Chain A
Amino acid sequence: MSKITYIENSGNEKTVEVSNGLTVMEGAVQNDIPGIDADCGGGMACATCHVYVKEEWFDKLPKKEDGEEDMLDMAFEPKKNSRLSCQLIVSDELDGLIVITPSKQG
């Protein structure tokens, strides 16, 4: 289990324990955290699980694989610290991760 903090665009913040091996997207969906739609269910095919990663965390995450940056082109207001939360797999290294959800997903 690792602690993941999700901060909504409105400022609401919720920290939940997510089992290692699940994705940051699944952690949000299973804990009813708003702001992450994940329409395609984690297939890197829709860009509706887009999150901004808190700056100090961004470089600690595994690098984007092929295709993630392409999908981020379609995300709503992508920034330098944008990631698709379906591609972030929770592990001890990610314990304490903070992500911010965008104002909307599309």
Chain B
Amino acid sequence: MIKTDTLIIGAGPVGLFCVHQLGIIGLKCEVVDNLDKIGGQCIELYPDKPIYDIPAVPECTGEELTNNLIEQIKAFKTNFHLNERVEELKKVDKKWITKTNKGTEFQSSSIIIAAGVGSFEPRKFPTKEIDKYEGKQILYSIRDKTVFKDKTICIFGGGDSALDWAIELSNTSKVILVHRRDDFRGMQASIDKAKQLKEEGKIKIYTKYQLESVQGKEKIESINIKHDDKSIKEIKTDYVLGFFGLIMQLGPIAEWGLNLDKKTIPVNTESFETNKEGIFAIGDICSYPGKLKLILSGFHEGALAARGCFKYAKPDEKYRFEFTTSSKTVKDRLGVKE
């Protein structure tokens, strides 16, 4: 079991800056995120898109913002537990015990939920009765590409994931790429490559088609795809891969007994604490009158939540406000050499 002062759920910009705010007041933390990388929505949804409303930063991309935040908290040597989702929560002797889907356990006096609108999960096919094949012949990500060798694979989607895998797997498998419209939104080089492979007869591309139904017993035998003009085409296939990006789901947090307002967690604006003592919520996931879903608001919320965590971590000490410009203690914590 990992013991720490605060567990932060979510490694997006708000969670990252909160690490800083906890660090300068002398609290330790660990960070868990369901994604495979640090940065949250900034990295997953808009790494290359410029952001213009970070104070004192006229323009930066989601990736640059993330890298700068990582740089800013380097001194605290924080552990990140990526690819893990916090599932269970219980309170034992005034401490929160949390457990992830990979079995990692934490004991902390406070928890800060900075989870955006929840954890990212793959978007699934809307088609009915596909559940029994999901995770077997219907997949939304690829762990081991060797299983596809010499098989027929139907890939759905129009972005880089769909294009990249279609190109890659065409070396060893029979690939059929299906997309709902003629335009693909991936990188031009990948689009060109896919079209070239189509002309060479190495992959098939069907556009203006979507998945209509799946036929099979234990395994998938064939699928039907439906054209915009309502005509149906049957395709025999071994695997069906869907790449429709990610969607945010609140997940197990919804079962923790926190007050919820739609998909957000109401908090007080003094410390951003929820209805549960020692559990705080900041960033897009929290709600209060006047809430703005801006990164800059999340920074403010994190600063106050960090101070809120102090009394749980050090009940016998009094928190004293200090500036980073003048406090020697804070500078030491930041590793500033004078």
Contact = CB atoms under 8 A, between A and B. Distances in A.
Contact of B123 (A37, A45, A76): A76
Interface in A63-106: 69-70, 73-74, 76-78, 80, 103, 105-106
Contacts of B179: 73
B46 interface: yes
B46 A45 contact: yes
A39 B283 CA distance: 12
A37 B264 CA distance: 11
Contacts of B183: 69
Given A41-B284, A80-B228, A106-B247, A73 B157 contact: yes
A76 B185 contact: no
A68 to B, nearest CB: 11
B157 A37 contact: no
Given A69-B183, A73-B180, A45 B41 contact: yes
Given A46-B45, A80-B228, A73 B248 contact: no
A2 B323 CA distance: 50
B185 A70 contact: yes
A48 interface: yes
B293 interface: yes
A29 to B, nearest CB: 9
Contacts of B185: 69-70, 73
Interface residues of B, number: 24
B26 interface: no
Nearest to B124: A106
B47 to A, nearest CB: 12
Contacts, number: 51
A45 to B, nearest CB: 5
Contacts of A46: 45, 117, 247-248
Contacts of A103: 126
B293 A76 contact: no
Given A45-B45, A46-B248, A69 B123 contact: no
Interface in A1-49: 37, 39-41, 45-48
A10 B249 CA distance: 22
A35 to B, nearest CB: 12
Contacts of A41: 284, 293
Contacts of B247: 39, 46, 48, 74, 105-106
Interface in B269-295: 284, 293
A45 B47 CA distance: 11
Interface string B114-130: 00010000010010000
Contacts of B45: 40, 45-46
20 contacts: A37-B263, A39-B117, A39-B248, A40-B45, A41-B293, A46-B248, A48-B247, A70-B159, A70-B185, A73-B157, A73-B180, A73-B181, A73-B244, A73-B245, A74-B244, A76-B126, A77-B210, A78-B210, A103-B126, A106-B249
Pairs of residues from A and B, 9 with the lowest C-beta to C-beta distance, nearest first: A106-B247, A41-B293, A70-B185, A74-B245, A39-B117, A77-B126, A45-B45, A74-B244, A73-B158
Interface of A: 37, 39-41, 45-48, 69-70, 73-74, 76-78, 80, 103, 105-106
